[in-house]
Amino acid sequence: MAKSKHVIIGGHTPKYLKKVAKAVQKEQGVVYRDALDIVAKQADFSSWNNFISYRKR
């Protein structure tokens, strides 16, 4: 069974978190990679990579 890109984890989809990360990037003046980590932490994950790894389970 193929994984959906719209898997909801903790009430958030990767697409939604990426959108929020873009806003964080602009607001805080950080690079996109750091913004992804910030929003992942707000969603109770230790990092963006942790969020993506959890999603692939």
Q: What's the pTM value of the predicted model, to 2 decimals?
A: 0.78
Triad 2, 46, 25: Cα angle to 5°: 90
Cα separation, 52 vs 45, whole angstroms: 10
Q: Which residues lie across from 12 on neighbouring strands?
A: 9
What pLDDT score does 10 carry? 61
Give the mean model confidence (pLDDT) for residues 33-42. Answer: 93
Q: Would you kindly state where each structural domain of the chain is located, as residue ranges?
A: 14-55
pLDDT at 28 over 80: yes
pLDDT beyond 50 at 35: yes
- pLDDT (0 to 100) of residue 1: 32
Contacts for 33 with CB less than 8 Å, ≥ 6 apart:
48
| Residue 49, pLDDT score | 94
Judged on CB neighbours under 10 Å (0-12, 13-18, 19+), 17 is: buried
